Structures are given as C-alpha cells and as structure tokens.
Structure 1
C-alpha cells in the first residue's frame, strides 16, 4: 500500500496540531468556567463575597492562552516552511505551466507540451513553475493539497511527490474565478512508474 504524499502528511500534521490545541483550549476554557461557577455558588451559599479576580488564576489563563497561540504559530510556520523546500533526496522533474482561458499548457524540459494531461513519474519531486498568459488563475491539485497562483508576468511554484501510480481525471483544477469557462478549466494527471515515464518521455520530444 502506497504511503500518503509528503505534502498531504505535512498539512495533516498541521491540522492535527490545530485540533489538539483547539480541544485543549476548549477543555481549559470550559474547566475554568465551571470552576468559577461552582466556586461562586459555594461562596454564595456560605455568605462569602463570591468570586473575585485572582492573580494566580489570571496568570494561569495568560500562560495557557499564550502557549496555545505560540504553538499554533510555530505549527503554521513549520507547515509553510516545509512547502517552500522541496525534498532533495529524490529525483527532480521541473515542468513549466502556462495558464490561459481556459486550460493549461505543461511544458517539459525537452520542449514537449501537453494541454490536457500532466504526466509525471512516481516517487519523484515534481516542481511546477506556474504563470498565466491572460488573467489570474490558480492551479490546484487537491489530492496533493497544493496550489499556486498563476499571475500574468509573475512566476509561482509548487511541488509534490506522487506515491501511487494511476490515471486521475480532472485532478488539476483552477481555483480562481477566471471567466465563463472557469468550471471547465481542468486537466488530467497520469502517474507512471519511473521506468514507464522514461519510456513515455523518450517518445515525446519537442513539438
């Protein structure tokens, strides 16, 4: 069974961290609330003054909240930093992507250009350098949890590692409203074994 792509594992890790922080924060908040409610009732029943602000309680709240915010910030920074540094321990394939209304041109290092299908080898760091020929677009591949803006005159980049071979229809989509054909601005993704890709690549030269 193929492992999940590293980009998916990265964001899954960030999500899990946020989930833990959110649940921990909720438990702390509700626990503190019920503590003050019960403590207030107890003091009221004994003729006390009720709950008054406590320095230690406020300090504890400040420490917990600050810790949660710092942990969430670190998790977000590490998640984004991971996406800006493609793995160096795998073979690398760099492909240029030109977006246009309403499609994608995928140009390989040998000059071959495909307009409807992105073909890549498995277990390879695939880098897509993305730009646009007309209006703003946004290339996204949900199965890898990656996106990159396609802006005229500018370049953006994303990377992914496919861990499972197969043919994935409509795997590539535009996530920026770009005109009447936006909904149809898709492309297929084909993931081959490295040997299959080498054969495919050798038979798709400059056009």
Structure 2
C-alpha cells in the first residue's frame, strides 16, 4: 500500500482551496469589469428609467430563489460540499494509525520545557532529551503525552501536530524523507509557561540501514549510536 506523506496531503488540500478561491475571485472580478463597461453612464438624465440591465443583472440581483439564480446557488452548494468532503476524507486519513504495521514507534513525553523521546529496544527503553534520531524513508508513529501541563507536539515541515496531555496518550504519524541528513525542529504549540519559546527539539534523519543495524543490535549498542549522532548536532 502506498503511503501518502502527511505534508503532501495538506499541500493537496491547500492547492484545492487555492484553485477554487482563484476561480471564484476571477469570476467575480470578470463580472465587475464587464459590468463597468456594460452599464457605464450613457448620458441619460438622472431619474430616467433605464431598465433592469439585462440577463446578467437579473441573475445577480434578483431574489436567490427566482429565475436562473437558482443555478448559481446550486453550483455554489456543489463546490462547498466538495470542499467539505475532500477535507473530511483527508483529515480522517491522517487521524488513522500508520497504514503499515512496521512503523517505528517513538514515545514522546512533553515537560516544562523540553521533549523526552523513548525508543523500545529489545524490551528496554532508550531515552533521549530534545534530540530524536529517526531512519530515512520510514513511517514513524509518535505516541504523545505530558508529565506536567498541556503541551502540543508538532514538526512544521510535516504539517502535523498533536496535543500532549497528562494522563492521555495521543498518536500521530509522519513519513521521513528518502534521503538522510535532514534536520527538523519540533515545537510546542501550546503556551505552557515562561520557557515555552525555548521548548524546541531536533529531529535528525539518518540512513535507514545504519539506524536499524544499531537498533537490532540491542539497547546498549543503539544508545551509543544515538548519542554519537546527537553529539554531532549539539
């Protein structure tokens, strides 16, 4: 099953809304320009009856339930419903669990004012603070909570975020890029105290094969590998 990256989904929605907005704005602007020349003053005396201005004028000005203006309402309704359905469909896709079973699961715990990342390796937990190392071309499932106040975990480039709430485990997923070497910032999107603006984590994308070689070698080897990667970015 092909997995659509989260950022691609949001860009697709953005472009859809932009295209509809440009089309609507262009149509209205064209009508205004047409009306400007079509119904400009012809030098008739003030107060003289000049009629209703033709078919377009009647469609745009008549009661919404009369004549051909019904078609305008119908088309508008179809466009709005299409946008609603597209939005719901895409957001439901994002809210589901990762669409493959071999996603890498990372526990994310927010605290004032940082992020704790936990990997489950060979039945043990490997923990890092504010630095997360992930493999390239891999689905990552974040299981997010907090140990003090409300936070919200998000990585802007992936167009996804989730609330971090004490006692509640929320989840979101991303697909990392194919090429290693990328570094992203992870932010808190919930005002959580005086150090909120400093609550920034680093997400480091490394070679997939290299990552899993260390991951499958046990917690000690993996912990050393992760710390070596992190030391290069501190």
TM-score by length of 1: 0.84
Q: Secondary structure at the match of 2:68?
A: helix
**Unmatched 5+ stretches in structure 2:** 224-234
Answer yes or no: is 1:69 the counterpart of 2:83.
no
| Residues 63/41 of structure 1: CA separation in 2 closer, same or farther (3 Å cut) | farther
Distance 2:78 2:33 in 1: 22
Change over 3 Å in CA distance of 1:152–1:90 after alignment to 2: closer
Asked if residue 104 in structure 1 is aligned to residue 115 in structure 2, the reply is yes
RMSD in angstroms over aligned alpha carbons? 2.6
Query: CA offsets per residue over residues 22-78 of structure 1, 9 Å max, x none?
Result: 112222333444556666559997954224427333112202221221121122112
Q: Which residue of 1 aligns with 2:52?
A: 50
Distance 1:29 1:151 in 2: 46
Larger Rg: 2
Aligned residues: 200
Secondary structure at the counterpart of residue 64 of structure 1: helix
| Matching residue of 2:176 | 162
Q: How does 1:1-207 map to 2 (within 5 A)?
A: 6-34=5-33, 48-51=50-53, 52=58, 53=62, 55-89=66-100, 91-110=102-121, 111-163=125-177, 164-168=179-183, 171-201=185-215, 202=217, 203-204=221-222
- Structure 2 CA distance for partners of 1:109 and 1:115, relative to 1, 3 Å: same
Instruction: State the secondary structure of the residue aligned to 2:137.
Output: coil
Over residues 109-158 of structure 1, what are the superposed CA-to-partner deviations in whole Å (9 max), with x where a residue is unaligned?
A: 22111112111111111000101111111111012111011111112111
Q: CA shift at 1:162, angstroms?
A: 0.6
* TM superposition outliers: structure 1 runs of 4+ over 6 Å: 42-46
Higher relative contact order (CA 8 A, sep 6+): 1
Shift of the 62–79 alpha-carbon distance from structure 1 to 2, 3 Å rule, reads same
Q: Provide the C-alpha distance between the structure 2 equivalents of 1:26 and 1:78, rounded to a whole number of angstroms.
A: 26
Local SS of the residue matching 2:108: strand
Using structure 2 for the length normalisation, give the TM-score. 0.75
Mapped contact 2:98–2:173 kept (Cα < 8 A): no
Q: 1:135 to 1:39 in 2, by over 3 A?
A: same
Residue deviations 1:139-195 (CA, integer Å, cap 9, x gap): 1101211101111111211100111311516x1111111111111111111112221
